[in-house]
Amino acid sequence: QVQLVQSGAEVKKPGASVKLSCKASGYTFTSYHIHWVRQAPGQGLEWMAMINPSGVSGKYAQKFQGRVTMTSDTSTTTVYMELSSLRSEDTAVYYCTRDHDNSNCNGYWGQGTLVTVSS
């Protein structure tokens, strides 16, 4: 079965960077896009970016362009998302998600990683 397992919680200081991982299993890794969606405490869902795990292309929400870097390691079927220049507003749960089997919405979700940005 499809599984997305994310790395553990992080605490970072403002201005630092954080690199999150998302290990995929149960399907052909390069056949589906991986997306990142975040949710600030008590707030709604915010789509951030998407990567083709073959590494060929990515899409970013404009507000994250320049601060988000996504990479993919096909040997370990793991996608990474690095967010730089962290500020307190980046405190959120970050989810990796995979395209749905039959559509391009977010069909499978990881368990989420809490990133706390605090001085």
Partner 1 sequence: DIQMTQSPSTLSASVGDRVTITCRASQSISSWLAWYQQKPGKAPKVLIYKASNLESGVPSRFSGSGSGTEFTLTISSLQPDDFATYYCQQYDSFPYTFGQGSNLEIK
Residues that bind partner 1 (CB under 8 A): 35, 44-47, 50, 59-62, 95, 100, 102-107, 109-112
Q: CB of 90: closest distance to partner 1 in angstroms?
A: 17
Residue 105 or 119 having the CB closest to partner 1: 105
| Cα→Cα distances 97→16, 19, 51, 91, Å | 24, 16, 11, 19
Q: Contact, 1 vs 106, CB < 8 A?
A: no
Residue 12 or 59 having the CB closest to partner 1: 59
Q: CB of 52: closest distance to partner 1 in angstroms?
A: 13
Residue 43 or 74 having the CB closest to partner 1: 43
Q: CB of 53: closest distance to partner 1 in angstroms?
A: 17
Residue 41 or 119 having the CB closest to partner 1: 41
Read off φ and ψ for residue 62, nearest 5 degrees: -55, -35
**119: number of Cβ within 10 Å:** 7
**50: number of Cβ within 10 Å:** 20
Nearest in space to 6 (alpha carbons), one of 27, 30, 37? 37
Q: CB of 48: closest distance to partner 1 in angstroms?
A: 8
